[in-house]
Amino acid sequence: MSTARFIKCVTVGDGAVGKTCMLISYTSNTFPTDYVPTVFDNFSANVTVDGSTVNLGLWDTAGQEDYNRLRPLSYRGADVFLLCYSLISKASYENISKKWIPELRHYAPNVPIVLVGTKLDLRDDKQFLTDHPGATRITTAQAYCGEQGEELKKMIGAVTYIECSSKTQQNVKTVFDAAIKVALRPPKPKKKPRKKRTCFFL
Protein backbone atom coordinates (compact mmCIF):
# COMPACT_ATOMS: atom_id res chain seq x y z
CA MET A 1 0.00 0.00 0.00
CA SER A 2 1.55 3.27 -1.11
CA THR A 3 1.82 6.24 1.22
CA ALA A 4 -0.42 9.21 0.36
CA ARG A 5 1.49 12.03 -1.29
CA PHE A 6 2.09 15.00 1.01
CA ILE A 7 0.93 18.39 -0.30
CA LYS A 8 1.98 21.57 1.47
CA CYS A 9 -0.63 24.29 0.98
CA VAL A 10 0.23 27.78 2.28
CA THR A 11 -2.28 30.64 2.71
CA VAL A 12 -1.02 34.15 2.00
CA GLY A 13 -2.59 37.62 1.98
CA ASP A 14 -3.16 40.79 3.99
CA GLY A 15 -3.97 40.58 7.70
CA ALA A 16 -7.69 40.32 8.53
CA VAL A 17 -8.81 39.11 5.09
CA GLY A 18 -10.07 35.84 6.61
CA LYS A 19 -7.27 33.34 5.93
CA THR A 20 -7.38 31.79 9.40
CA CYS A 21 -11.20 31.65 9.47
CA MET A 22 -11.16 29.90 6.10
CA LEU A 23 -8.76 27.26 7.43
CA ILE A 24 -10.81 26.75 10.60
CA SER A 25 -14.04 26.55 8.58
CA TYR A 26 -12.51 23.93 6.28
CA THR A 27 -10.93 21.76 8.98
CA SER A 28 -13.72 21.90 11.58
CA ASN A 29 -16.85 22.68 9.51
CA THR A 30 -17.56 25.53 11.93
CA PHE A 31 -17.08 29.29 11.80
CA PRO A 32 -15.19 30.78 14.77
CA THR A 33 -17.38 33.35 16.52
CA ASP A 34 -15.15 34.19 19.47
CA TYR A 35 -11.37 34.45 19.50
CA VAL A 36 -9.61 33.98 16.18
CA PRO A 37 -5.83 33.51 16.43
CA THR A 38 -3.51 35.53 14.19
CA VAL A 39 -2.15 32.28 12.80
CA PHE A 40 -3.84 28.89 12.61
CA ASP A 41 -1.89 25.88 13.93
CA ASN A 42 -0.47 23.75 11.13
CA PHE A 43 -2.91 21.00 10.16
CA SER A 44 -2.45 17.73 8.31
CA ALA A 45 -5.05 15.18 7.19
CA ASN A 46 -5.71 12.66 4.45
CA VAL A 47 -8.08 14.05 1.83
CA THR A 48 -9.49 12.35 -1.28
CA VAL A 49 -10.10 14.37 -4.44
CA ASP A 50 -11.06 12.80 -7.78
CA GLY A 51 -10.11 9.36 -6.48
CA SER A 52 -6.63 10.43 -5.34
CA THR A 53 -5.85 10.41 -1.62
CA VAL A 54 -3.28 12.94 -0.45
CA ASN A 55 -1.94 14.06 2.91
CA LEU A 56 -2.85 17.75 2.91
CA GLY A 57 -0.71 19.98 5.09
CA LEU A 58 -2.16 23.44 5.73
CA TRP A 59 0.12 26.31 6.70
CA ASP A 60 -1.18 29.72 7.74
CA THR A 61 0.85 32.94 7.53
CA ALA A 62 0.42 36.35 9.14
CA GLY A 63 -0.02 39.17 6.65
CA GLN A 64 1.05 42.00 8.96
CA GLU A 65 4.33 43.80 8.26
CA ASP A 66 5.72 42.66 11.64
CA TYR A 67 6.02 39.18 10.13
CA ASN A 68 7.69 40.17 6.84
CA ARG A 69 11.01 38.55 7.78
CA LEU A 70 9.56 35.38 9.33
CA ARG A 71 6.77 34.68 6.86
CA PRO A 72 8.97 33.50 3.94
CA LEU A 73 10.24 30.65 6.13
CA SER A 74 6.81 29.05 5.63
CA TYR A 75 7.20 29.12 1.84
CA ARG A 76 9.95 26.50 1.73
CA GLY A 77 8.67 23.25 0.23
CA ALA A 78 5.25 24.70 -0.66
CA ASP A 79 3.34 22.86 -3.40
CA VAL A 80 0.59 25.47 -3.83
CA PHE A 81 -0.34 28.92 -2.49
CA LEU A 82 -3.82 30.17 -1.61
CA LEU A 83 -3.44 33.90 -2.25
CA CYS A 84 -6.34 35.63 -0.49
CA TYR A 85 -7.98 39.05 -0.54
CA SER A 86 -11.23 40.28 1.00
CA LEU A 87 -14.20 41.06 -1.24
CA ILE A 88 -14.96 44.03 1.02
CA SER A 89 -11.43 45.47 1.06
CA LYS A 90 -10.07 47.34 -1.93
CA ALA A 91 -6.66 47.65 -0.25
CA SER A 92 -6.29 43.88 0.14
CA TYR A 93 -7.24 43.45 -3.53
CA GLU A 94 -4.64 45.96 -4.66
CA ASN A 95 -1.95 44.40 -2.46
CA ILE A 96 -2.23 41.13 -4.38
CA SER A 97 -0.22 42.61 -7.24
CA LYS A 98 1.63 45.29 -5.24
CA LYS A 99 2.93 43.18 -2.35
CA TRP A 100 2.14 39.49 -2.51
CA ILE A 101 3.01 38.53 -6.07
CA PRO A 102 6.47 40.17 -5.84
CA GLU A 103 7.07 38.38 -2.52
CA LEU A 104 5.93 34.96 -3.73
CA ARG A 105 7.78 35.24 -7.03
CA HIS A 106 10.95 36.17 -5.16
CA TYR A 107 10.88 33.31 -2.64
CA ALA A 108 8.93 30.64 -4.55
CA PRO A 109 8.88 31.52 -8.26
CA ASN A 110 7.61 28.18 -9.57
CA VAL A 111 4.87 27.38 -7.03
CA PRO A 112 1.33 27.56 -8.52
CA ILE A 113 -1.21 30.01 -7.08
CA VAL A 114 -4.96 29.76 -6.45
CA LEU A 115 -6.45 33.26 -6.12
CA VAL A 116 -9.20 33.43 -3.45
CA GLY A 117 -11.75 36.18 -2.77
CA THR A 118 -12.94 35.84 0.86
CA LYS A 119 -15.94 37.13 2.86
CA LEU A 120 -18.35 36.57 -0.01
CA ASP A 121 -21.32 36.69 2.39
CA LEU A 122 -20.48 40.27 3.44
CA ARG A 123 -20.25 41.74 -0.04
CA ASP A 124 -24.04 42.04 -0.28
CA ASP A 125 -24.72 42.45 3.45
CA LYS A 126 -26.26 45.93 3.59
CA GLN A 127 -26.38 46.00 7.40
CA PHE A 128 -22.68 45.15 7.67
CA LEU A 129 -21.75 47.81 5.12
CA THR A 130 -23.87 50.37 7.00
CA ASP A 131 -22.24 49.48 10.33
CA HIS A 132 -18.73 49.52 8.80
CA PRO A 133 -18.45 52.66 6.65
CA GLY A 134 -14.76 51.95 6.06
CA ALA A 135 -15.53 48.74 4.20
CA THR A 136 -15.32 48.97 0.43
CA ARG A 137 -17.94 46.88 -1.30
CA ILE A 138 -16.08 45.24 -4.14
CA THR A 139 -18.67 44.61 -6.82
CA THR A 140 -18.78 43.88 -10.51
CA ALA A 141 -19.86 47.48 -11.13
CA GLN A 142 -16.65 48.64 -9.46
CA ALA A 143 -14.79 46.11 -11.58
CA TYR A 144 -13.14 44.34 -8.67
CA CYS A 145 -14.80 40.93 -8.61
CA GLY A 146 -16.24 38.35 -10.94
CA GLU A 147 -14.86 39.29 -14.33
CA GLN A 148 -12.15 41.42 -12.75
CA GLY A 149 -11.24 38.56 -10.43
CA GLU A 150 -10.62 36.54 -13.56
CA GLU A 151 -8.60 39.39 -15.03
CA LEU A 152 -6.49 39.62 -11.86
CA LYS A 153 -5.99 35.86 -12.05
CA LYS A 154 -4.63 36.20 -15.57
CA MET A 155 -2.53 39.23 -14.70
CA ILE A 156 -0.72 37.50 -11.83
CA GLY A 157 -0.58 34.10 -13.50
CA ALA A 158 -2.80 32.28 -10.98
CA VAL A 159 -4.15 28.90 -12.05
CA THR A 160 -7.73 29.56 -10.95
CA TYR A 161 -9.92 32.08 -9.07
CA ILE A 162 -12.57 31.21 -6.47
CA GLU A 163 -14.80 33.36 -4.23
CA CYS A 164 -15.85 31.87 -0.89
CA SER A 165 -17.48 32.52 2.47
CA SER A 166 -16.05 30.91 5.59
CA LYS A 167 -19.18 31.84 7.54
CA THR A 168 -21.65 30.08 5.23
CA GLN A 169 -18.99 27.63 3.98
CA GLN A 170 -19.93 28.48 0.40
CA ASN A 171 -17.13 27.25 -1.88
CA VAL A 172 -14.70 26.64 1.02
CA LYS A 173 -14.25 22.97 0.13
CA THR A 174 -13.98 23.99 -3.53
CA VAL A 175 -10.98 26.20 -2.68
CA PHE A 176 -9.02 23.36 -1.08
CA ASP A 177 -10.07 20.78 -3.67
CA ALA A 178 -8.76 23.17 -6.32
CA ALA A 179 -5.49 23.59 -4.42
CA ILE A 180 -5.01 19.82 -4.28
CA LYS A 181 -5.76 19.40 -7.99
CA VAL A 182 -3.35 22.21 -8.87
CA ALA A 183 -0.60 20.67 -6.73
CA LEU A 184 -1.14 17.23 -8.27
CA ARG A 185 -1.14 18.62 -11.80
CA PRO A 186 0.88 21.83 -11.72
CA PRO A 187 0.84 23.83 -14.95
CA LYS A 188 3.87 23.35 -17.12
CA PRO A 189 6.14 26.37 -17.27
CA LYS A 190 5.73 28.25 -20.51
CA LYS A 191 8.56 27.69 -22.93
CA LYS A 192 10.35 30.77 -24.07
CA PRO A 193 9.86 31.28 -27.81
CA ARG A 194 12.97 30.48 -29.74
CA LYS A 195 14.63 33.37 -31.45
CA LYS A 196 14.35 33.11 -35.19
CA ARG A 197 17.68 32.83 -36.87
CA THR A 198 18.37 35.20 -39.69
CA CYS A 199 20.13 33.72 -42.69
CA PHE A 200 22.59 35.76 -44.68
CA PHE A 201 23.57 34.80 -48.20
CA LEU A 202 27.15 35.64 -49.09
CATH topology of domain 5-184: Rossmann fold (3.40.50)
Q: Is the pLDDT of residue 12 over 50?
A: yes
* 61-120 tens-digit pLDDT: 988 888 888 899 999 999 999 999 999 998 999 999 999 999 999 999 999 999 999 999
Question: What is the strand order of the sheet 52-59 is part of?
Answer: 43-49, 52-59, 5-13, 80-86, 113-118, 160-163
Query: Quick one: average pLDDT of 33-45?
Result: 77
pLDDT at 132: 67
Q: For the chain, what is the mean pLDDT?
A: 85
Please name the helix (run of DSSP H) or strand (run of DSSP E) that holds residue 5, with its range, or none: strand 5-13
If 0-12 CB within 10 Å is exposed, 13-18 middle and 19+ buried, where does residue 189 land?
A: exposed
Name the 3-class secondary structure at 180: helix
Domain segments of the chain as ranges: 5-184
Q: Is the pLDDT of residue 141 over 50?
A: no
What is the pTM assigned to this prediction?
0.84
